[in-house]
Chains A and B, each alone.
Chain A
Amino acid sequence: MFAYPTYFVLFGLVLTAVLGLLASWVDRKVTARVQYRVGPPVLQPAIDLVKLLGKETLIPAGAHKPTFLAAPLISLAGVAAVSTLLWITVLQPSRGFTGDVFVALYLLTMPSLGIILGGFASGNPVASLGASREMKLILAYELPFVIALFVPIILSGHAIRLPDIAAHQADAGAFVLHPSGFLAFLAALLCTQAKMGLVPFDVAEAETEITGGPLVDYSGSGLALYRLCKNMLFITLPLFLVVMFLGGITLSVLGIVYGALKLILVVAVLTLIRNTNPRIRIDQAMRFFWFPVTVVALAGVVLAMVGW
C-alpha cells in the first residue's frame, strides 16, 4: 500500500503524535472531571507542545552537552520506531518488516533509556536520583511484563511476529477473553502504567519531592521532545496491548470504530488508575511488581499452558 518512509512519517510520527495528543487530552479531561473541573479544550496539549518548542532552551552548567541534547532524540527514535512497526502490523501485515515481540519489547525500553541518560547528563544530583529511580522502575516492571507477554506467544501457538499474533486473534477471538489472557493483560496493564510513569508509579519524576527528577533541568525544545514522546507513548503502548491481547484492529469501518473504542478503553483505565491512587515509594513499587504482579503474570502463563 505504502512505502516504508511513508509509514514512518505518516503513521509512525504524525498519526501517532496526533492520536497521542488526543489521548493526552482525554487523560486531562477525565482527570478534570474526576476533580470537578471543566478541563482543557481539545487543542490544549498541542498548544502546550508548540509553546514549549518556542521557549528558550537552557543547559545546566556541568552538564555533558551532547548527551544532554541527544537523550530526548533516543527516546523519540525508540517510540517512533515501535509505533511505525505497530501501524504496519495493523495496516499491512503482509509487509516484510513488521517486527516481533522481542523487537517491540526492546524498542519500548528506549524512551526510558533516553530519560535516564538525559537525567544523568544534566549533572544535577536530583536528576541523577530521579533517573536511578526510573532505572529501578524498569527493573521492577520488566519482569512481570515479559512474563505476561509469554501468554499471547503460548496462546498463538508460539508465534512471535506481531502480525501472526494479531491474525491468530482475528480467527480465534481476543486473548483477553481467555482466563490466562485476562490475567496477563491485567499484569501488562499495570506495567504499562509504570512504563508511562503515571501515578502511582511516577516516582522517577515525583514533582513534589524531586521536582521532576531527570527532567528538572530540561526546558524549551528538549522538554517539548520528552513531552511529545510521552504523548506518543500514550497511544503506542495501548496499541501494543490491543495488538497483543485485545484482538488487534481490523480494517473495516466497524473494525476501526471498534479498534478506536479499545484504545480509548485502555487509555481511560490508565487515567482512572492514575486519578484514584497516591504515589508509592520506589521500594514499594519494586516489591509490588516483583511479587504480586509477577505472580499474576505467572498464573496466566500456567493457565495458558494447560490451554485455558
Chain B
Amino acid sequence: MNELEPYFRLDWLSGSVAAFVAGYTVLTIVYSMGYMRGRQAQGRYYGYILLTCILSIAAVFADNLVLFVVCWGLLGLLLYLLTNLGESPGAAKTAKKTFIIIGGTDSLMILGLALAWSLGGRPSLFDLRMTTLEIPIVSPVGVMAYLCLLSGALAKAGAMPFHTWVPDTAQDAPLPVVAFIPASLDKLLGIYLLVRLNVDIFVLTKGLYVFLMLLGSFTIVAAVMMALVQHDMRRLLGYHAVSQVGYMILGIGTGTPLGIAGGLFHMFNNSLYKSCLFFSGGAVTREARTDALDELGGYAHAMPVTYTTFLIAALAISGIPPLNGFVSKWMIYQSLATVGRNSGWLWTLCLASALFGSVLTLASFMKLIHAIFLARPARKIEGKKETSLLLLAPHAILAGLCVLFGVFAFQLPLGRFIGPAVGTPIDYPGDWHTLAGALLLLAGFGAGAVLYIIGTALRARTVEPFVGGEVLEEQPAMRMSGVEFYKTVEEVPFLRWIYHAASQKFFDLYELGSRATLGISRMLSRIHTGELPTYLAWCVLGIIVLLFVLLGGSA
C-alpha cells in the first residue's frame, strides 16, 4: 500500500462517494439491460459505462491534484461519447455542447492547478496533495486559483452559470446515461470537489462564502422557474437536476459543520431520488414512446409500481416529511438561520429562495404526476404494462432508500458516514425526530383510515364523474393534460420578460459564446474577399505599422 500512499487516500468522504458511484453503476447496468435491449453499439455503451465508473472512483480516491484533474478530464470525454450514442436527432449537437462546456472548464481547472501550485509552495507539481494543501486565499491570484478550480466543480455538478448542458443532455442522451451521469455521478463528483476545495485545498475568505451562498440561492430559484414551464419530461427533470445543486452549494457555502453535512446529505439524497425519477419516468416514456407531457396520461393505472416509486421520489425531492429530501433541506435551512446570527441580511435572501424554491419544486412535480400518471390518457393505454423486472428493480430500490434515508436519517446516513466525513460534531438548532415524526404522520394516516372504516369507504360505488352534467366519455377533447397549468406564472409582470429572454437563450453562456464567436468570424470573413489588391493593401499597411512601432521604439 505504501507505493499508493502519495497518490490515493481513503477517508469517510471519498469512501462513501465511491460506494455510491459503484452502487449506481450496478443499478444503471441492470436498468440498461432492459432499456437498451436491441439498440446498436451495445459493446461500446457498456464499456463506456464501466470506464466512467472506474475513472470516477479513481478521481474520488485521488489525493494528487494532477491525477485528479486527469481523471476528471477523461470523464468529460466519456460523457461526450455516451451522449453521442443517443438516438434523438439533437444528440450530436448536444454532445458537442456538453463537451465544450465541460472541456472549457477543465482547461480552467488546469490553469487553477498551475496557480495553486505557485501558491502552495511545493517543489514539484506532483506534490500537490489535495487533503493537506490548505492554501490561504489572501491575494487576487488565490481568488483566481479558487475560481478556476471551482468552475470545474460547478460545470460538473451543473450549477449556474455552467448549467445549460444539463437540460439538453437530459433530453438527448440515452436515458440510463442521464440517470447515471448528470443526475447522480456528476452531482457526487462536482459536490465532492466543492467540499474538498472549501475544506482541504483552500482556506476561504468570507467574501467567497457569500459568493457561494448567492450562487446557490440563484441557481435554486432560476432553474426551478424554468422547470415549471417545460413541456418535456426529461427536460423538466433536467432543470431540477440543476436546481437541486443550488441547495448543496448553499449548504456548503455556509461553511458551518451543519451546512456542510446538510449539503453532503442533500447530494446523496438528490442522487437517490433524481436517478429514481429518471429511471421510473424512463420506464413510462419507453412504454409510451414519447417524452412529451401532453401525449401521456393515465399511466398510474397501467404501471402502478412505477407510479408509486415516481410518487415517492417526487415527494422526496419536494421535501415532504418524513422522506429524505426533507431532512437534508431542513438541515440546510437551520444552518442558514444560525449563520444569520452573526451576519447581516444575506441569510434571509438565501433562506427565502431555498424555501420558495422548494414549493416551486413541489408545483412542477405535481404537474408531472398529473400529466404522466393521473390525467385522462391522451392515447390508448390498453396493453401498456410494467415491462420487466430489469426496468423495475433499480427505481424500486432507490425509492426504498429514499424512505429509509428519511425515516432513519440520523441513525443511517448521518451517523454512519456523513457525520464522520464532516468530522466535527453537528449541533441542530431545530427539532425534527425522524422516526417519531414518521410515526406521527403514520398515526394520522391510520386515524383517517379508521374513519373510513367507520364510514362508507369500504362499500364505495363507481359512478360517472361529474362535469357539469356532461358525459365525459363522449367528450374526448374535454381533457386536461396539465402542461399549461402554470401559464399564469409566465404571465406575471416582470417574470414575463425573464421567461421571454430565457426562451431566446439569453442566459445560456454557451449560446452567448457561440454567438460572439460566430459574429467575430463573420466580421473577419467579410474582410477576406479574395481580391489581391485588398490583401496587398493590408500587407503594406501592416508593414507601415510594424516599421512605425519598431523604429519609434528605438528612437
* A residues apposed to B, CB below 8 Å: 4-5, 8, 12-13, 53-64, 67, 69, 72-74, 76-81, 84, 96-103, 105-107, 109-110, 113, 116-117, 120-129, 131-132, 135-136, 138-139, 142-143, 146-147, 150, 153-154, 157-162, 211, 216-217, 220-222, 224-225, 228, 282-283, 286-287, 290, 301, 305
Distance in angstroms between the alpha carbons of A105 and B465 in the assembled complex: 34
Chain B residues with CB below 8 A from A131, complex form: 366, 370
Chain B residues with CB below 8 A from A222, complex form: 457
Given contacts A76-B448, A77-B445, contact A220 B457 (CB under 8 A): yes
Determine the residue in chain A with the shortest Cβ distance to B461: A58
Chain A residues with CB below 8 A from B447, complex form: 13, 76, 80
B466 touches A4 (CB 8 A): no
Chain B residues with CB below 8 A from A224, complex form: 451, 455
Binds A, one of B65-73, B147-155, B202-210, B428-436: B428-436
A69 touches B452 (CB 8 A): yes
A126 touches B356 (CB 8 A): no
Query: When the two chains form the complex, which single residue of B355, B436, B480 contacts A105, counting CB atoms closer than 8 Å?
Result: B355
B489 touches A63 (CB 8 A): no
B352 touches A147 (CB 8 A): yes
Given contacts A136-B486, A142-B359, contact A287 B464 (CB under 8 A): no
Query: When the two chains form the complex, which single residue of A60, A78, A153 contacts B441, counting CB atoms closer than 8 Å?
Result: A78
Given contacts A54-B456, A225-B448, contact A124 B488 (CB under 8 A): no
Given contacts A102-B334, A136-B488, contact A161 B456 (CB under 8 A): no
B431 touches A69 (CB 8 A): no
| Contact code string B22-52 (vs A, CB < 8 Å = 1, else 0) | 0000000000000000000000000000000
Chain A residues with CB below 8 A from B482, complex form: 128, 132
Distance in angstroms between the alpha carbons of A286 and B359 in the assembled complex: 14
Distance in angstroms between the alpha carbons of A125 and B377 in the assembled complex: 12
- Beyond A127-B465, A138-B362, list 14 extra A-B contacts (CB 8 Å): A4-B436, A56-B456, A61-B464, A77-B445, A97-B431, A117-B366, A123-B465, A125-B472, A128-B480, A128-B482, A131-B366, A154-B340, A158-B429, A221-B457
Q: B279 near A: Cβ within 8 Å? A: no
Q: B196 near A: Cβ within 8 Å? A: no
Chain B residues with CB below 8 A from A286, complex form: 488-489, 492
Distance in angstroms between the alpha carbons of A139 and B361 in the assembled complex: 10
Binds A, one of B2-10, B111-119, B319-327, B544-552: B319-327
A60 touches B457 (CB 8 A): no
Determine the residue in chain A with the shortest Cβ distance to B359: A142
Q: What are some 30 contacts across the A-B interface (CB < 8 A)?
A: A57-B459, A57-B460, A58-B463, A62-B465, A76-B445, A80-B440, A80-B444, A80-B447, A97-B437, A103-B431, A106-B330, A128-B480, A128-B482, A131-B370, A132-B370, A132-B485, A135-B367, A136-B485, A138-B359, A139-B359, A142-B355, A158-B429, A160-B429, A160-B430, A211-B466, A216-B466, A220-B456, A221-B451, A286-B488, A287-B492
Chain A residues with CB below 8 A from B433, complex form: 96-97
Q: B537 near A: Cβ within 8 Å? A: no
Distance in angstroms between the alpha carbons of A129 and B449 in the assembled complex: 27
Q: B523 near A: Cβ within 8 Å? A: no
Q: How far does the Cβ of B452 sit from chain A's closest Cβ, in whole Å?
A: 5
A109 touches B374 (CB 8 A): no
Determine the residue in chain A with the shortest Cβ distance to B299: A64
Q: What DSSP secondary structure best describes chain B's contact surface?
A: helix
Most buried by A among B319, B344, B444, B478: B444
Q: B78 near A: Cβ within 8 Å? A: no
Given contacts A84-B440, A99-B432, A146-B355, contact A290 B345 (CB under 8 A): no
Chain B residues with CB below 8 A from A123, complex form: 374-376, 465
B359 touches A109 (CB 8 A): yes
Determine the residue in chain A with the shortest Cβ distance to B308: A66
**Which chain B residues in 341-361 approach chain A with CB under 8 Å?**
341, 344-345, 348, 351-352, 355-356, 359-360
B448 touches A81 (CB 8 A): no
Q: How far does the Cβ of A168 sit from chain B's closest Cβ, in whole Å?
A: 14
Determine the residue in chain A with the shortest Cβ distance to B455: A221
Given contacts A60-B463, A136-B486, A142-B355, contact A125 B366 (CB under 8 A): no
Determine the residue in chain A with the shortest Cβ distance to B479: A125
B489 touches A287 (CB 8 A): no
Distance in angstroms between the alpha carbons of A79 and B444 in the assembled complex: 8
A60 touches B352 (CB 8 A): no
Q: How far does the Cβ of B480 sit from chain A's closest Cβ, in whole Å?
A: 4
B489 touches A59 (CB 8 A): no
Chain A residues with CB below 8 A from B348, complex form: 147, 150, 301
10 closest A-B pairs by beta carbon, nearest first, are A221-B455, A77-B444, A60-B465, A80-B444, A73-B448, A100-B430, A76-B448, A132-B485, A57-B460, A53-B455
Distance in angstroms between the alpha carbons of A225 and B307 in the assembled complex: 24
Chain B residues with CB below 8 A from A128, complex form: 370, 375, 480, 482
Distance in angstroms between the alpha carbons of A78 and B444 in the assembled complex: 7
Given contacts A56-B456, A160-B337, A220-B457, contact A138 B444 (CB under 8 A): no
Chain B residues with CB below 8 A from A287, complex form: 492-493
Q: How far does the Cβ of B472 sit from chain A's closest Cβ, in whole Å?
A: 7
Chain B residues with CB below 8 A from A129, complex form: 480
A283 touches B462 (CB 8 A): no
Q: How far does the Cβ of B495 sit from chain A's closest Cβ, in whole Å?
A: 9
Q: How far does the Cβ of B315 sit from chain A's closest Cβ, in whole Å?
A: 8
Q: How far does the Cβ of A96 sit from chain B's closest Cβ, in whole Å?
A: 7
Distance in angstroms between the alpha carbons of A153 and B338 in the assembled complex: 10
Chain B residues with CB below 8 A from A61, complex form: 462-465
Chain B residues with CB below 8 A from A84, complex form: 440
Q: How far does the Cβ of B343 sit from chain A's closest Cβ, in whole Å?
A: 11
Q: How far does the Cβ of B355 sit from chain A's closest Cβ, in whole Å?
A: 4
Q: B491 near A: Cβ within 8 Å? A: yes
Q: How far does the Cβ of A163 sit from chain B's closest Cβ, in whole Å?
A: 9
Q: B333 near A: Cβ within 8 Å? A: yes
Chain A residues with CB below 8 A from B319, complex form: 106
Determine the residue in chain B with the shortest Cβ distance to A143: B356
Q: How far does the Cβ of B307 sit from chain A's closest Cβ, in whole Å?
A: 8
Chain A residues with CB below 8 A from B463, complex form: 58-61
Chain B residues with CB below 8 A from A62, complex form: 376, 465, 472
A74 touches B445 (CB 8 A): yes
**Which chain B residues in 55-74 approach chain A with CB under 8 Å?**
none
| Contact code string B249-280 (vs A, CB < 8 Å = 1, else 0) | 00000000000000000000000000000000
Query: When the two chains form the complex, which single residue of A98, A122, A301 contacts B465, counting CB atoms closer than 8 Å?
Result: A122
Distance in angstroms between the alpha carbons of A76 and B443 in the assembled complex: 10
Query: When the two chains form the complex, which single residue of B344, B352, B455 contacts A143, counting CB atoms closer than 8 Å?
Result: B352
Chain A residues with CB below 8 A from B96, complex form: none
Distance in angstroms between the alpha carbons of A56 and B456 in the assembled complex: 6
Q: B468 near A: Cβ within 8 Å? A: yes
Given contacts A80-B443, A105-B355, A286-B488, contact A98 B320 (CB under 8 A): no
Q: How far does the Cβ of A76 sit from chain B's closest Cβ, in whole Å?
A: 4
Determine the residue in chain A with the shortest Cβ distance to B375: A128
Most buried by B among A4, A80, A81: A81
Determine the residue in chain B with the shortest Cβ distance to A8: B443
Given contacts A57-B459, A76-B445, A146-B355, contact A103 B321 (CB under 8 A): yes
Q: B454 near A: Cβ within 8 Å? A: yes
B465 touches A81 (CB 8 A): no
B485 touches A97 (CB 8 A): no
Q: B170 near A: Cβ within 8 Å? A: no
Determine the residue in chain A with the shortest Cβ distance to B451: A225
**Which chain B residues in 295-312 approach chain A with CB under 8 Å?**
300-301, 307
Q: B363 near A: Cβ within 8 Å? A: yes
Q: B467 near A: Cβ within 8 Å? A: yes
